[in-house]
Amino acid sequence: MKPEKENKSLKEQDLLEEKKEDVKEKKEDVKEKKEVVEEKEPKKKMLITDLPGVGPTSAEKLLSGGYNSLEAIAVASPMELVAVAGLGEGTAIKAIKAARDSLEMGFESAERILERRKTINKLSVGAKTLDELLGGGLESQSITEVYGKFASGKSQWCFQLSVMAQLPKEKGGLSGNVLYIDTENSFRPERISEIAKHRGLDPEKVLKNIYVARAYNSNHQMLLADKAAEIIKDKNIKLLIVDSLTGQFRSEFIGRGQLSDRQQKLNSHMRLLQKVSELYNIVVFVTNQVMSRPDILFGDPTDAIGGNVVKHASKTRIYLRKGSGSKRIAKLVDSPFLPDGEAVYNVTNNGVVD
């Protein structure tokens, strides 16, 4: 009798195991079907008014303050939203977290980052030697800084790039328009007309596509950079130029006693420029003044104004020197992925050329 009972219990166990397996398979099928449905039906995109604590009035204030997308809110600090929309600090933190969660702004594989970097555009300088030095041209989504003494050709780069940005992509351009913040009253439309003619473009059309603002002090300069975010999409802006970055800051903040205030303000300005370049996938190009360091006894004592604040924020840094006649030397000082090097070029009536 015992063997029969044992066989019966074994059969019951087998049946239970089979039922468990069936249930498990059904659950997996349901899960797979659910995943397929989710793939077919993408998640509804979150709006600014869907963020926790952000009502119609707060959303309107955010939009008027330049925070017109979830990306802009996701990369903002809580205090920025407090100042712009009058949100409580706790509410601002929750809104930023919700924006980041909806955009999946967490860790991701390097492979995905490499794929995303394919969206980066390159702007040709217009001279082969310089393009080779820069790995094909100036990158979007980052800040490129050139610095050098007077007459080293910094503004000439600005004029040249203002024309090059309007060329089609197959010719090294970005098929877009230009925002130009002039802090030293050095903008010369006549030079841009000469360069445009040399490139086979209509000077009048080229000048119409360049939007220039004269900055009279550091606060005005920062305000113009802030306003730039509002018109980038409307005007198809692909290049933002600041010539020069530190001129106003240098003249207003004098002496070591004001150095800390100057650097904090400059850091805020650079952070805004970087955010604009990443959000709108544009090229940000800044020129910088220099000083002579008395502690350097051997070698070139020339150093850029702005210290480490500017050096860290600028992803590509180029030092310009004057050569004999029309010759200039560009030295690549810093880049995240390019080796240091130098290139010789000329500044003529036709612009920056080999």
* C-alpha dihedral, 65 to 66 to 68 to 70, nearest 10°: -100
CATH of domain 115-353: 3.40.50.300
Coil, helix or strand at residue 238: strand
pLDDT in tens, 298-352: 777 888 999 999 999 999 999 999 988 889 999 999 999 999 999 999 999 999 9
How far apart, in whole angstroms, are the C-alpha atoms of residue 139 and residue 118? 11
Buried b / exposed e along 71-82 (16+ C-beta atoms within 10 A): bbbbbbebebbe
* Residue-level pLDDT at 43: 53
Average pLDDT, the chain: 87
Q: Would the pLDDT of 247 be above 80?
A: yes
Question: Residue 69 CA to chain centroid, in angstroms?
Answer: 16
Residues 278, 142, 70, CA angle at the centre, nearest 5°?
10
The reply to whether omega before 277 is within 30° of 0 (cis) is no
The domain segmentation of the chain, as residue ranges, is 48-106, 115-353
- Residue 309: both structure tokens together: 């604040």
How far apart, in whole angstroms, are the C-alpha atoms of residue 280 and residue 190? 29
Q: Would the pLDDT of 39 be above 50?
A: no
* Residue-level pLDDT at 176: 96
For residue 313, what is the enclosing H or E element?
A: helix 307-313
Q: Give the phi and the psi of residue 287 in degrees, each rounded to 5.
A: -105, 155
Coil, helix or strand at residue 215: coil
DSSP string spanning 85-103? H---HHHHHHHHHHHHHHT
CATH of 48-106, one of 1.10.150.20, 3.40.190.10, 3.40.50.1000, 3.40.50.2300: 1.10.150.20
